[in-house]
Amino acid sequence: MSEKVLSLKNIKKEYPGVVALKDVSLDIYAGEVHALLGENGAGKSTLIKIIAGAIQPSAGSIVFSDGVVHQSMTPQKAKEYGVEVIYQEFNLVGCLSVAENICFGEKHGKFVNRRYMKKVAREAFDLFGVDIDPSAAVYELPASKQQIVEISKAIFRNVKILIMDEPSAALSVAEVEKMFQVIRKLKERGVAIIYITHRMDELFEISDKVTVMRDGEYITTVQTKETNRQELVNYMVGRELKETFPVRPQPSDEVVLKVKDLSGNGFRDISFELRKGEILGVAGLVGAGRTEMARAIYGADKKHAGRVYVNGRLANTSSPAKSIRNGIGMIPEDRKQHGCLLTRSILTNISLSSLKQISKLGFINKKKERELAQAYKDELMIKAPNLEQLVGNLSGGNQQKVVIAKTLAANCNVIIFDEPTRGIDVGAKQEIYKLMAKIVSEGNAILMITSEMEELIGMSDRILVLHEGKSQGILEKHEFSQSRILEMASGISIEKQGA
Which residues are at the interface with other proteins (CB under 8 A)?
A: 298, 300, 319-321, 323-325, 330, 332, 336-344, 348, 352-353, 355-356, 359, 362-364, 366, 385-386, 390, 392-393, 406, 410
CB of 417 to other proteins, least distance (A): 14
CB of 390 to other proteins, least distance (A): 7
CB of 364 to other proteins, least distance (A): 5
Q: Find residue 24's DSSP bridge partners.
A: 11
Q: Write the DSSP string, 82-129.
A: TEEEE-SS----TTSBHHHHHTTT---SSS--HHHHHHHHHHHHHHHT
CB of 93 to other proteins, least distance (A): 22
Pinpoint the alpha helices (H) of 380-465.
396-409, 426-441, 453-459
Cβ–Cβ < 8 Å for 78, 163: no
Cβ–Cβ < 8 Å for 84, 162: yes
Give the residue with the Cβ less far from other proteins, 391 or 486.
391
Grouping H, G, I as helix, E, B as strand and the rest as coil, residue 484 is helix
Cβ–Cβ < 8 Å for 156, 103: yes
Cβ–Cβ < 8 Å for 29, 1: yes
Give the residue with the Cβ less far from other proteins, 333 or 431.
333
Give the residue with the Cβ less far from other proteins, 406 or 462.
406
Handedness of CA 420, 426, 431, 437 (dihedral sign): positive
Give the residue with the Cβ less far from other proteins, 151 or 331.
331
204 sits in the region (left: phi over 0; alpha: psi -120 to 50; else beta) called alpha
Q: Kindly report the number of other CB atoms within 10 A of residue 476's CB atom.
A: 9
- Beta strand extents in 287-405 (DSSP E only): 303-310, 313-314, 328-331, 359-360, 363-364
Q: Kindly report the number of other CB atoms within 10 A of residue 427's CB atom.
A: 9
CA pair distance 122, 128, nearest whole angstrom = 10
Give the residue with the Cβ less far from other proteins, 344 or 434.
344
CB of 405 to other proteins, least distance (A): 12
Give the residue with the Cβ less far from other proteins, 149 or 412.
412
Give the residue with the Cβ less far from other proteins, 206 or 347.
347
Give the residue with the Cβ less far from other proteins, 337 or 497.
337
CB of 146 to other proteins, least distance (A): 25
CB of 437 to other proteins, least distance (A): 25
CB of 355 to other proteins, least distance (A): 4
